[in-house]
Amino acid sequence: RGELLWNGGRAAVLDSRPAGAGASVQSCLVELGALRSGASVRARVDQDHRAGCAAHHSATHLLNRALREVLGEGVVQRGSLVAPDHATFDFSWPSPVSEEQLTEVERLLNRQLRRDLSRRVELLPIDVARTSGAVALPDEPYGDVVRVVSFGDFSRELCGGTHVARSGEIGLVVLTGSRSVGQGLRRVELLAAAAAERWWEGQRRHLAELSDAVRSPVPEVIARVRQLQERVRRLEREVHRSRELGIAGGGSAIQQEAVAGVSLVVEDLVEKMERRELRQHAEQLLDRWPDGCAVVLSGGQILIRVSDALVARGLSAGTMAQAVCQELGGRGGGNQQLGQGVIPEESHRAAMATVRTILGSALEEA
């Protein structure tokens, strides 16, 4: 790709294809002036476009060899697409390529870039080329003399395309995916050189945005995302359970009733909270029912807070918590004003009745 220039005119070269006997045919778009037969023109190659194509083309040669090294000699190239900003490589293979295999191929390929292998181009008789181990496309018509492109001792193929002078010029190759494109046919997608660098820059930017979104350092992002996933699943279970209980909203369920003239208030929180937060909820309940008994449930935790008036009557929140937890298959304790413990999460529904019974007994004895 490039352009043709002449006196008073310019044409963009959109494509160039061999026409045999050393000639080529260019598809052009005249952008200025008129191009007439016999005109003297000057050709100028788009160097950036050429460099991108060369890097991706050479990368497909190295990929071909790397696939054979990792998967086996059964790998047979069936085609490729080379562009300045990406490439694809199709090959025969009966099964999916695993992520581990793809990573191993990518690692081996980039190792050849660091070796900075020199390119060697030879014109050889077809029989000599095949005997020398050069890889050819099956069913591809070749002439009596072929062009063989090698990179060090790693890759050797019949090829007429443009390539980098040394493998180190490619800099970096990223294999972005592998998929099926037909029965027994796989396709590997790759980025090389500047395109690979831009891809990694984008990945790093996305990771930084994700780190900010979950408020976690980059090395801890995966663990944090898994925590959030588990939290979402837990909340979904809680919402489902709340709906079964007929609770609107889903933030929490507050039930209040009188037990022997004392307000018993139970709040069942959907989201699992820290004990400090449970105590804050209990204090807020006592603000609304100052002479009562507040019970807060959250993710298998139970916290009981009794008012000063009930403490004066001889009730102990710690004793109640111990009795409730034992009844429900957990454990608990505390002091006169504040009791806490753990119970099976599925016993939340039974907690209200259990607390009611134990509170009633305590009030009878007071």
- Is there a contact between 115 and 121 (Cβ–Cβ < 8 Å)? no
Q: What is the pLDDT of residue 152?
A: 97
In a domain, 215, yes or no: no
**Domain limits at 19?**
2-45
Q: Are residues 140 and 159 in the same domain?
A: yes
CATH for 286? 3.10.310.40
CATH for 106? 3.30.980.10
* Span 267-308, pLDDT tens digits: 988 778 888 889 988 998 998 899 999 999 998 999 999 999
Distance of CA 70 to the CA centre of its chain: 24
Q: Are residues 130 and 95 in the same domain?
A: yes
In a domain, 126, yes or no: yes
Q: Which residue has the tokens 């050393």?
A: 22
Q: Are residues 163 and 304 in the same domain?
A: no
Q: Are residues 29 and 81 in the same domain?
A: no
Kindly give the pairing relationship between strand 262-269 and strand 293-298.
Answer: parallel
Q: Are residues 91 and 173 in the same domain?
A: yes
In a domain, 222, yes or no: no
Q: Are residues 67 and 164 in the same domain?
A: yes
* Span 213-232, pLDDT tens digits: 999 999 999 999 999 998 88
Q: Are residues 189 and 256 in the same domain?
A: no
In a domain, 207, yes or no: no
Q: Which residue numbers in the chain have pLDDT < 70? A: 238-252
Q: Which residue has the tokens 């081996």?
A: 108
Q: Are residues 33 and 96 in the same domain?
A: no
In a domain, 287, yes or no: yes
In a domain, 229, yes or no: no
Domain count, the chain: 3
Q: Are residues 39 and 53 in the same domain?
A: no
In a domain, 303, yes or no: yes
* Span 260-275, pLDDT tens digits: 999 999 998 877 888 8
Q: Are residues 38 and 150 in the same domain?
A: no
- Is there a contact between 67 and 23 (Cβ–Cβ < 8 Å)? no
Virtual CA dihedral for 338, 341, 346, 348, nearest 10 degrees?
-10
User: What is the pTM (predicted TM-score) of this model?
Assistant: 0.64
Q: Are residues 353 and 307 in the same domain?
A: yes
